[in-house]
Amino acid sequence: MKASIQHLQPYVPEKPLTTLKAELGLDQLVRLSANENPYGTSPKVAAAVKNWDFTQSNRYPDAEAAELRQAVATQQHVDPDQLVFSVGLDEMIVMLSRTFLSPNDQVLVATPTFGEYGLHAEIEGGQLVSVPTKTNGQIDWPAMQAAVTPQVKMVWLCNPNNPTGTVESLADITAFVQAIPATTMVLIDEAYLDFAPQATALTAMQLPAAYPNVIVMRTFSKAYGLANFRVGYAVVPPALAPTLQAVRLPYNLNSLTQIAALAAIKDQAFVADTVAKNATERALWQAFFDEQGIQYDQSAANFIFFTYPQADQLATYLLQHGYSLRTGLRPNWLRLTIGTAVDNQAIRSLILAYQDLQ
Ligand SMILES: *Cc1c(COP(=O)(O)O)cnc(C)c1O
């Protein structure tokens, strides 16, 4: 076994809800720890999947995902050849780490951020270099720029960032790209950008056509409500597309996945509804935290990162009352996925009741 992975522990995934409910003896459990879409999935996806011709099961899927490719290219105003699909963005993080990292290369992140970047850097024998975000959760750009040494081969920018939810401007991202060597890859993870106000003005989607070292990623798992289908993609500089297509497993997206994603992209009304409801609920959460004097980062996403004294005890109380939040990201901070209006109201009441108990 290669030395870089001998000490790794398996990722602790979300337990199936039915298992967790049985373990806790709960009738009702709402998972607000994984940033899933609380409004479900477009009914048009269900119809498209049911319509699939099962007699094609013995055939390999379309390795090019041609129809989906065209639909995404049209939606994002990019060349279809710039698109590389993956089994969720998780697989894209694996592919990019495999492609750009050699042992002892360094990978730069602004922490706290999504843990998968560091995991796959390690698996490739690379080292993670972390620059702390500012106290408001935003990237410290001068410090990031100063950290780009010749050993740094990849920089991950998560925008909006998981877990802080904070957003960076396209101007700042572009200035960073222009300030660092063109041989350092800048990988921009826009998993949550659909939820951000002015998302179309914030996206870095047009940068890969202009800069040979910029890649932008999206997933269908969050705003599109397709986490179970596992589909994401990267927009890459044209010169890199053949290499990334060579690294990608040819049949990584099965036909059902392609059909589901295509139906989801065609139902923009569902996405717009999800985004609008999320924005309303996010504002209600911020107002509540302000009233209660609870500190949180300014979120442009479908989750909020907030701090609470002995946060794990609050999380346990909420879990016992049927709501699971994400713990373990930073001491005394919790990440709450913004749920439906009814669930959010119920959780706020639980927090008030908990405060009365203290
Ligand atoms: C959820 C998430 C992803 C990946 O999700 P997939 O389901 O694998 O597409 C990628 N990046 C961030 C920051 C995420 O939170």
- Segment 41-69 mean pLDDT: 97
Same domain for 218 and 292, yes or no, is: no
Residue where a domain stops, chosen among 266, 291, 325: 266
Q: Supply the residue whose CA is at minimum distance from atom 6 of ligand 1.
A: 88
- The rounded Å distance from CA 256 to ligand 1 centre is 20
Q: Ligand 1 — pocket residues by CB below 6 A? A: 35, 88-90, 114, 158, 162, 189, 191, 219, 221, 227, 232
Does the pLDDT at position 218 exceed 90?
A: yes
Same domain for 245 and 180, yes or no, is: yes
Model pLDDT, residue 303: 98
Residue where a domain stops, chosen among 213, 248, 266: 266
- The rounded Å distance from CA 233 to ligand 1 centre is 11
Domain of 235, CATH number, reads: 3.40.640.10
Does the pLDDT at position 12 exceed 80?
A: no
Same domain for 104 and 233, yes or no, is: yes
Mean pLDDT over the full length of the chain: 96
Same domain for 254 and 120, yes or no, is: yes
Measure the CA–CA gap between 39 and 29, rounded to whole angstroms: 15
Burial of 88 (0-12, 13-18, 19+ CB in 10 A): buried
Residue 10 pLDDT grade (very low, low, confident, very high; cuts 50, 70, 90): confident
Query: For the chain, what percent of residues have pLDDT higher than 70?
Result: 100
Model pLDDT, residue 4: 83
- The rounded Å distance from CA 353 to ligand 1 centre is 33
Tokens representing residue 357 in the block: 């108990």
- The rounded Å distance from CA 356 to ligand 1 centre is 36
- Segment 300-320 mean pLDDT: 97
Q: Which of 32, 94, 114, 228 to mutate to test the pocket of ligand 1 (most atoms within 8 A of CB)?
A: 114
Do residues 222 and 35 lie in contact, with contact meaning Cβ atoms separated by under 8 Å? yes
Atom from ligand 1 closest to the CA of residue 87 = 8
Same domain for 191 and 111, yes or no, is: yes
Number of domains in the chain: 2
Same domain for 11 and 142, yes or no, is: no
- Segment 105-114 mean pLDDT: 98
- The rounded Å distance from CA 90 to ligand 1 centre is 6
Same domain for 86 and 64, yes or no, is: yes
The pLDDT tens digits of the residues spanning 140-193 come to: 999 999 999 999 999 999 999 999 999 999 999 999 999 999 999 999 999 999
Residue where a domain stops, chosen among 266, 297, 312: 266
Same domain for 257 and 277, yes or no, is: no
Model pLDDT, residue 149: 97
Atom from ligand 1 closest to the CA of residue 231 = 9
Same domain for 176 and 193, yes or no, is: yes
Do residues 56 and 263 lie in contact, with contact meaning Cβ atoms separated by under 8 Å? no
- The rounded Å distance from CA 89 to ligand 1 centre is 5
Tokens representing residue 52 in the block: 């699939």
Q: Range of 82's domain?
A: 43-266
- The rounded Å distance from CA 189 to ligand 1 centre is 8
Amino acid, single-letter form, for residue 20: L
Q: Which of 162, 231, 303 to mutate to test the pocket of ligand 1 (most atoms within 8 A of CB)?
A: 162
Model pLDDT, residue 16: 86
Q: Which of 9, 8, 26 is nearest to 17 (CA)?
A: 26
- The rounded Å distance from CA 114 to ligand 1 centre is 8
Same domain for 30 and 154, yes or no, is: no
Does the pLDDT at position 358 exceed 90?
A: no
Q: Which of 218, 222, 329 to mutate to test the pocket of ligand 1 (most atoms within 8 A of CB)?
A: 222
The pLDDT tens digits of the residues spanning 266-304 come to: 999 999 999 999 999 999 999 999 999 999 999 999 999
Atom from ligand 1 closest to the CA of residue 219 = 9
Model pLDDT, residue 194: 98
- The rounded Å distance from CA 88 to ligand 1 centre is 7
Same domain for 37 and 47, yes or no, is: no
| Alpha helix (H) residue ranges in the chain | 17-24, 43-50, 66-76, 88-100, 116-123, 141-147, 170-179, 199-202, 207-210, 241-247, 255-266, 268-292, 311-320, 341-357
* pTM listed for this prediction: 0.96
Atom from ligand 1 closest to the CA of residue 91 = 8
3-state SS assignment for residue 254: coil
Same domain for 105 and 188, yes or no, is: yes
Q: Supply the residue whose CA is at minimum distance from atom 12 of ligand 1.
A: 191
- The rounded Å distance from CA 204 to ligand 1 centre is 17
Q: Supply the residue whose CA is at minimum distance from atom 10 of ligand 1.
A: 89
What are phi and psi for residue 185, nearest 5 degrees? -75, 135
Does the pLDDT at position 311 exceed 90?
A: yes
Domain of 312, CATH number, reads: 3.90.1150.10
